[in-house]
Amino acid sequence: MTASGGQQQSDAVARRGLMLVLSSPSGAGKTTLSRRLLDADPGVELSVSVTTRKQRPGEVDGRDYHFIDAARFEAMIKRGELLEWAHVFGHRYGTPRAPVEAALVRGHDVLFDIDWQGTQQLREKADRDLVSIFVLPPSMPDLEQRLRRRAQDSDDVIHARMATAADEMSHWAEYDYVVINTDVDHAFAQVQSILAAERLKRERQIGLSEFIRRLQAQL
């Protein structure tokens, strides 16, 4: 289904938004797929995480992440303001609750670029809203090449990410769908197909009963 087709569906029947998770080992392509989906589909918005790590060159505060200190992060945990949070490579990452819940009520889908730990927490708190996709690389040498092409991390960090990849991939069975990113265009088409089908699930179309009553009234 195209973005316009999804819009026609939402115009006809009120729909509750869904939480779409894309997870993968670092370098397997989830960030590229996420950006393409956001560019292609106006019905999807990104969940902007909070993090305690330092801002990287080219990143914009409030667009890529909300960069905060450890004390503020801890306060958000205590106040129940995070849907999920985790330690990743020595830093904390978390999802603010309020903007996600507001988007779902408006019928917008919220995209998450998070790991298996965060996905597990979301499933515990919001299972009926969650759709999870795990993205795999075609091979481990390919994954290492992708990490090196990014030129963002030192050799030590790359080695750490490769060592962590095996553990991350062991959680593939906890996801609803698995996409092997051999070709990014094909992988993206698969992600779009998954989203189109999930949007049409009966339980997400909260205005369906009213729509059917209107149809029956026309008889």
Mean residue pLDDT of the chain comes to 88
> For residues 166 and 40, what is the distance between their CA atoms, to the nearest angstrom?
31
pLDDT at 1: 44
Overall pTM surpassing 0.85 (yes/no) = no
Helix (H) or strand (E) holding 188: helix 184-199
Which CATH superfamily hosts domain 3-48+107-201? Answer: P-loop containing nucleotide triphosphate hydrolases (3.40.50.300)
**Model confidence over 53-102: pLDDT tens digits?**
999 999 999 998 999 999 999 999 999 999 999 888 799 999 999 999 99
Are the beta carbons of 65 and 96 closer than 8 angstroms? no
**Model confidence over 94-135: pLDDT tens digits?**
999 999 999 999 999 999 988 888 899 999 988 899 999 999
Map out the domains of the chain as residue ranges.
3-48+107-201
> For residues 15 and 4, what is the distance between their CA atoms, to the nearest angstrom?
15
pLDDT at 150: 63
Of 150, 76, 70, 83, the closest CA to residue 117 belongs to 83
> For residues 122 and 119, what is the distance between their CA atoms, to the nearest angstrom?
5
